Chain A
C-alpha cells in the first residue's frame, strides 16, 4: 500500500507541475492582451508612455521567464494576486463566488446522480419493455437539449410568464433578508438553475448506470439468487444495484472535481454569481491572474478528486487493490 501511494503521489506531482505550466502559458498564447481592461475605454487616446506605465505596473512588460518565476513563487505563497479587470484580490473574488457554485453544482451533481441511478436501475431491470424504451427516449431527449436553451425556456415560462421564481441572481441580497426568509429566497433563486443543471446532466449517469446494471444482471450470481427464490426487490437493489454502482462512483468522483469550475452557461443565463461565469469573463478580458487562479482551482480539485477516487476504489471494490 505504501509503495502504491508513493508512486501515485509522484505521478500527481508531475501532473500538477505540467498543469501549472500549461495554466501559465495558455492565457498568454491567446491573441490580444489585457491592456484595454487595465486602461479602460480611453485606451485609444493614451500616449505610448502611459500604456507602457500601465503594463509595467502589472509586470506585463517583463520577459516571459520572469513572469513565470513570479507566478510560481506566488502559487507557493498562496498569493493569487489582483484581478486586472475587477481590481480586487482574487482570493476575495473566489471566496464570494465559490459558495454559490458549490451550492448549485454540488446539489446538481448529487440530485442528478440519485435520479440517474434510480432510473438507470429501473430501466435496466425492465430491459426491452416499454418502460425501458420510454425512459431511454426521455433521457436521450433531455441530453439532446442545449443547456442555455433549457434555461431560457424555464425562465420564460416559470419566471417571466408565471412569475413563480425570480429571473436572475442567487438571492435578492439588497433586501437584507435574515434567517428563514433568506433561506427561502435562496431556494427560490436556486430552483430554476438547479433544475436546468439536473435536466442536462442526468443522462450520463442514467446511461452509465443502465449499462453497468445490465452487465451485472448478466452475472451468474443473479441467476443463482433468482433460482434460490430471493425476493425481486432484494436482487434488484442489494445484489445488482450495489455492484453496478462502481462505474457511477468513478464518474461521480471525476465530476466532483469539476464542480468547483461551476456551470458557465447556466450561471450566465441565470446571472448566477458562480465561478464559471467568473472564469468566462476572465478569459474574455484576458485577466491573466484570474484565469490562472480559476483554472488552477479546477485543476487541483480534479487531481484531488482523482486521488480520492484512487484511494476509495479499493474500499469499494476489493478486487482492485489486490
Chain B
C-alpha cells in the first residue's frame, strides 16, 4: 500500500513538474487585462461600475467628445464645432468615415436618435445632463445643431464627452433597454464574447475611423479576489490590471523587473462623515473639534504608506484648478480640547470622556465598510484620535449594504439617516464636477441629493443658488473656492485623503497605456492608436532613476529567480526523500514488532 502511495506521489510530482508557463509572443496580438467584477452586458444601459465598466463600454461605443488624460474634453466623433456667444447653440460637424461594427455609416441621425432615446428611456447618468437641450436639428449626414434652453457650464463634460452614441438601426427596436444584451457600437473594439463571471473578449475594429487599434484581441478575465489578481499579474498570466495596487504591495511590484508601475493622483475622496442632524454633531464647535483632533497626515503615512494626498478641508482635490490654496488641513488636539471646553462639552463625571452641554453622556458609533481593510484601519485611527480628546466613540464595521442602509437609507437623503459618524468615500465624479459641492451640502434634498449628513446652512444654500446661475468661469471658480472655505470652517465632513491610483502592467506585452488623472490606465486612450500624449508614468523623477538602474536589477533578479526555482527543486526533492525514508523505516519497524494492538 505504502509503495503505491509513494510511487503515485512520485509520478504525480513528475507529471506536474513538466508544466511550465508558455512564453508569450512579443507582438500585441492579445492583451489580457484583469478586471474585478462582472460588468454584465457592456452597453450604456447595462454596465455596472463607472470604472472600469463604463470605460469598457467606451471601447465599444464612441462619444462626440472625449476626456483627455487631464480630463479636458477633446473632439472625438466631432471634427469641427462652433459654439455661439450666448453659449446656447452648438454646431457640430462629425467625421465622415465613421461606421458601426456592422458596416452601416454613423450619421447625425444616430446622434439625434441617441438624445431622444435617452430622454425616452431614462438612465440617470446620461439622461439628466440632456435636460438642458431644447432642440436637436439634423442638417445633413454629418452636420448637427444643438440648442440649449439655458447655458450649462458642464455641457462639454456631460453629456458631450460622456454620452455614448447608439446605433439607430438597432436601438429603435429596443423597448426594454435594461434587459438588452446587444453591444454593437462604433468604437475601436468589437464585442466577441461574454462568459458571465469569467471573461469578456473583444477584437480590434480594423475599420475604425481613427485608424486600426494597436491590439488585435483584448481579453478581460474577471478575477474577484484582489490577491489572485495581483498573483496572476506577477505570474504573467495577465498583462495589466484595472484594480489599484494596495500600498503595502507597491514596492514588491516596483521591484518586479517584468512589470511597470504607473502612479497618479486619484479622485476618490475618503472622508469622515458627520451626521449634522443629530446632537451634539449639530454644534459647529463639536464638528470643528473633530476636525482638529484628526491627524490626516498620519493616516496617509501609516495606513497608505504615503500613496495618497492629504485631504483638503474644503473637499476639492489640491490638483484641481478649482482648489482653494488658502486652505490647509488642521491637526491640533489641544485646540480641539479647548474648543470643546469652551463650548461646554466637559468631563463632569471623571470617566475620561466628555459629557454634553447638559451633562448627559456622549457615546458615539463610527461606521465603516467591513470589506475594506484600509478604511477599517482609518476608522480605528480616527476613532482613537477622537477618544484622545474625550469624544467617546467605537468603531463598528458592517457589510457595505448595511452601512449604506444606515447612512443613506434608500439612497434618498430625504428619508433621513441613522448614524453618528462614519468613514465614507465618494467616487471620482465628485471631483470631476466641482458643482457637486452644492449637491453635497445644500439643505434641500432635491438639490443636495448627496448631503448624507443632513447638513443645513442658509448661507451655504445661497452660495449654491448663486453658483447655479453663474456662467463666467472666473466667477464660478471664486464661488467654488468660497464654498470650500465655508465647508472648511463648518466641518460638515472632514476630508481625510485622496488615495493615489497605482496601476501595474507588463510593458513587454504592451507599453501604450495612458494614465488618465483620477482614473488610471484602463481607459479608451490606452487602447487606441495614433499619437500618444507622453509617457503614462506620472512620477517622472523616480522614473529616470529607475531606468538607470533597471538593467542591473533586471539581470540580478533574473539569476536570483533562477536560483530561487533551484531552491524549490532541491527542497522538493529533499522533502520527497525524507518522506520516503521515513515511510520505509516505518515499514521496517512494523516488520520487527509485529502486532501492537492495545484495546
The winner among A46, A85, A126 for most chain B CB atoms within 10 A is A46
On chain A, the residues within 8 Å of B97 by CB distance are none
Does B246 belong to the interface (CB within 8 Å)?
no
Q: In the complex the two chains form, is B19's CB within 8 Å of A271's CB?
A: no
Q: CA of A247 to CA of B307 in the docked complex: distance in angstroms? A: 56
Residue of B128, B235, B568, B598 touching A45 (CB-CB under 8 A): B128
Instruction: From the candidates B219, B225, B405, B598, name the one contacting A268 in the complex (CB within 8 A).
Output: B225
Contact of A273 among B178, B197, B414 (CB under 8 A): B197
- Answer whether residue B133 sits at the interface, using C-beta atoms and an 8 A cutoff: no
In angstroms, Cα B531 to Cα A58, docked, is 47
Contact A160 B405 (CB under 8 A): no
Does A33 make an interface contact (CB < 8 A)? yes
Cβ of B16 within 8 Å of any chain A Cβ, yes or no, is: yes
- The reply to whether A45 and B402 form a contact with Cβ atoms under 8 Å apart is no
Mask, B2-28, CB within 8 Å of A = 1, is 000000000000001101110000000
Those of A39-69 within 8 Å (CB) of chain B: 39-46, 48, 50-51
- Asked whether A258 is an interface residue with its Cβ less than 8 Å from the other chain, the reply is no
Nearest-neighbor residue (CB-CB) of A132 within chain B: B596
Most buried by B among A32, A168, A277: A168
Q: State whether A31 touches B225 (Cβ < 8 A).
A: no
Contacts of B198 in A (CB 8 A): 169-170, 173, 273
Q: A310 near B: Cβ within 8 Å?
A: no
> Which residues does chain A contribute within 8 Å of B477, judged by CB atoms?
none
* Contact call A164/B19, Cβ cutoff below 8 A: yes
Q: Determine the distance from Cα of A108 to Cα of B169 in the docked complex, in whole angstroms.
A: 51
Task: Give, as a whole number of angstroms, the nearest-CB distance from B233 to chain A.
Answer: 9
The interface stretch among B42-50, B88-96, B340-348, B551-559 is: B42-50
Taken together as a complex, chains A and B put the C-alpha atoms of A39 and B127 apart, in Å, by 14
A residues 118-175 near B (Cβ < 8 Å) are 126-131, 152, 155-157, 159-170, 173-174
Contacts A166-B237, A168-B237, A271-B222: A86 and B199 contacting too (C-beta < 8 A)?
no
Evaluate contact between A168 and B196: CB separation under 8 angstroms: no
Give the number of residues in A that approach B within 8 Å (Cβ atoms).
66
Which chain B residues (230-252) contact chain A, with CB distance < 8 Å? 231-232, 234-237
Residues of B within 8 Å of A241, CB to CB, are none
Q: Which residues of B contact A88 (CB under 8 A)?
A: 40, 196
Chain B residues whose C-beta falls within 8 Å of the C-beta of A157 in the assembled complex:
568
Query: Could you tell me which residues of chain A, from 5 to 57, have a CB within 8 Å of some CB in chain B?
Result: 30-33, 35-36, 39-46, 48, 50-51
Complex partner residue of A155 from B196, B231, B399, B598, CB under 8 angstroms: B231
B401 at the interface (CB under 8 A from A): yes
Chain A hits for B570, CB < 8 A: none
Count residues of B near A (Cβ-Cβ below 8 Å): 69
Among B124, B125, B179, B234, the most chain A Cβ lie within 10 Å of the Cβ of B124
Identify B449's interface contact among A45, A232, A271, CB under 8 A.
A45
Q: Which residues on the B side are within 8 Å of A31 (C-beta)? A: 401-402, 405-406
In contact, A167 and B232 (Cβ under 8 angstroms): yes
In the complex, chain B residues 44-99 whose Cβ is within 8 Å of any chain A Cβ? 46-50
B406 proximity list for chain A (CB < 8 A): 31
Chain A residues with Cβ below 8 Å from B50 are 41
User: What 0/1 readout, one digit per residue, does chain A (235-254) give for beta carbons within 8 Å of chain B?
Assistant: 00000000000000000000
Contact for A269 among B48, B196, B225, B232, CB less than 8 A: B225
> Any chain B CB within 8 A of the CB of A263?
no
Please, which residue of chain A has its CB at the minimum distance from the CB of B436? A45
From 405 to 446 in chain B, residues with beta carbon under 8 angstroms from any chain A beta carbon are 405-406, 408, 410-412, 414, 427, 439
Contacts of A168 in B (CB 8 A): 221, 223, 225, 228-229, 231-232, 237
Contact B405 A271, beta carbon cutoff 8 Å: no
Please state if A284 and B401 are interface contacts (CB–CB under 8 Å): yes
Rounded to whole Å, the gap between the CB of A72 and the closest CB of chain B is 25
Taking the complex as formed, is A322 at the interface, i.e. its CB lies under 8 A from any CB of chain B?
A: no
Asked whether B399 lies within 8 Å of A269 as measured between CB atoms, the reply is: no
| B369–chain A nearest beta-carbon distance, Å | 11
- Say yes or no: B178 contacts A87, CB within 8 Å: yes
Q: B164 interface residue, CB < 8 Å from A?
A: no
Q: Which of A86, A160, A277, A278 has the most B CB atoms < 10 Å from its CB?
A: A160
CA distance A96 to B224 in the complex (A): 17
Given contacts A45-B128, A87-B40, contact A96 B568 (CB under 8 A): no
Q: Does A210 contact B (CB under 8 A)?
A: no
- B193 surroundings in chain A (CB, below 8 A): 174
Quote the shortest CB–CB distance from A122 to chain B (angstroms): 8
What 9 A-B pairs have minimum CB-CB distances, sorted nearest first?
A32-B401, A32-B405, A163-B21, A167-B232, A43-B411, A160-B231, A31-B402, A42-B125, A271-B223
A-B contact pairs, 24 of them (CB 8 A): A32-B404, A33-B405, A33-B410, A35-B410, A40-B125, A41-B49, A43-B411, A45-B449, A48-B412, A48-B414, A97-B197, A126-B590, A155-B228, A160-B235, A162-B568, A164-B20, A167-B237, A168-B231, A170-B198, A174-B193, A174-B199, A188-B19, A218-B599, A284-B400
| B residues whose Cβ falls under 8 Å from a Cβ of A | 16-17, 19-21, 38, 40-41, 46-50, 122, 124-125, 128, 178-179, 193, 195-199, 201, 219, 221-225, 227-229, 231-232, 234-237, 371, 399-402, 404-406, 408, 410-412, 414, 427, 439, 449-450, 564-565, 568, 586, 589-590, 595-599
Chain A residues within 8 Å of B, Cβ to Cβ: 30-33, 35-36, 39-46, 48, 50-51, 82, 85-88, 92-93, 96-97, 126-131, 152, 155-157, 159-170, 173-174, 188, 191, 217-218, 232, 268-271, 273, 277-278, 281, 284-286
Known: A39-B124, A44-B411. 5 other contacts (CB 8 A): A42-B125, A44-B450, A129-B596, A159-B231, A174-B199
